[in-house]
Amino acid sequence: MSEPVDEERESGRVALGRTLRFLREKADKTLAQLAAETSYDKSYLYRLETGQRLSKRAVMENLDTYYGSGDLLVRLWREARKDVIKDKYKAFMELEATARIMWMFQLRVPGLLQTEDYARAVLSGLSGAQTTAGNSEEVEEQVAARMGRQELLYRQPAPSVRVILDESALRRPVPGAKVWTDQLSRLVEAAELPSVVLQVLPFTAGVHDLMDSHLWLFWQRVGEPVAYAEGNGFGELIEDPDKVLSFRLSYDLVRDAALTPAESTAFIKRLLEEYRS
């Protein structure tokens, strides 16, 4: 799922930028001094302070440490990163952030399990179209937002996540051998997380109901489950109980046809060895 920048809403980034400037001025530092003492480029720091750019979380952690501001900047960053998500994805993002149980069927490696370099390649269109210099900052903002979403895998309590990957997701590498092998290694590591179950649906499973779209099923602490289906150029949130149940039944059939978690991990490890050799 791509996460384009919403140019009409920058309040989160502006609030973060104002706080960055306040902390710098409170510390009686110029941008040049801050750049020299933190090793961040002066123009980069300026764009952060003016709300033109969203950083990675690690930058905010470093600046929180520098200013002695606890986790203030990290908390503001969590809000600011929502600004880089299109309106039609906001409901999905809220569901993902609060779900207690999350099931997915994916035709590509899902954002929650992507490495930074793989996400950058996908969001840049390096597997197809060329990236232009004009959108490189937008891509970096989307990468930062995507990496930030992965926090939920490590929170306490972590949601219960089940991912069924179509074999095609593992047979379509991005350019760069290391980028791809690192991504396969990341999948193996994710499968070892206590809250994550990873399965592979092999080509030998044949045709099935979900082969044309990605599917998410969410369960919150209370309320009915919700589905989200996404295909080429569309994304739809489904709340109708009958439709959600139909997707649930389709998911169950796909899960039954998939390799077991142990078989799936072994499958990915074999692919990893093949690409490394």
Other CB atoms within a 10 A radius of the CB of residue 53 amount to 19
Q: What is the DSSP letter of 155?
A: S
On whether the CB atoms of residues 16 and 52 are closer than 8 A, the answer is: no
- What is the pLDDT at residue 86? 56
Q: Give me 101's structure tokens.
A: 């149980």
Q: Is 222 exposed, middle or buried (0-12, 13-18, 19+ CB in 10 A)?
A: exposed
Ranges 5-19, 112-126, 248-262, most confident: 248-262
DSSP track, 203-243: GGG---TTTTSEEEEEE-SSS--EEEEEETTEEEEE--HHH
- What is the pLDDT at residue 245? 96
The set of residues, in sequence order, having a beta carbon less than 8 Å from that of 239 and lying 6+ positions away, is 224, 226, 227
- What is the pLDDT at residue 7? 40
Nearest alpha-carbon partner for 94 in 216, 178, 200? 216
Q: What single letter denotes the amino acid at residue 205?
A: A
On whether the CB atoms of residues 92 and 236 are closer than 8 A, the answer is: no
On whether the CB atoms of residues 89 and 3 are closer than 8 A, the answer is: yes
Judge whether residue 131 has pLDDT over 80.
no
Domains observed in the chain = 11-83 (1.10.260.40), 85-276 (3.30.870)
Judge whether residue 90 has pLDDT over 90.
no
Confidence grade of residue 256 (pLDDT, cut at 50, 70, 90): very high
**Tokens 């150029």, residue located:** 233
Judge whether residue 101 has pLDDT over 50.
yes
Confidence grade of residue 235 (pLDDT, cut at 50, 70, 90): confident
pLDDT in tens, 141-175: 889 888 989 999 999 999 999 999 999 999 989 88
Nearest alpha-carbon partner for 210 in 103, 92, 105, 102? 105
Q: What are phi and psi of 129, to 5 degrees?
A: -75, 160
Confidence grade of residue 132 (pLDDT, cut at 50, 70, 90): very low
3-state secondary structure of 21: helix
On whether the CB atoms of residues 159 and 99 are closer than 8 A, the answer is: yes
Which parts of the chain are beta strand (E)? 101-106, 160-166, 196-201, 214-219, 226-231, 234-238
Percentage of the chain surpassing pLDDT 70? Answer: 90
Nearest alpha-carbon partner for 63 in 22, 103, 9? 22
Confidence grade of residue 140 (pLDDT, cut at 50, 70, 90): confident
- What is the pLDDT at residue 135? 63
- What is the pLDDT at residue 129? 43
- What is the pLDDT at residue 57? 87
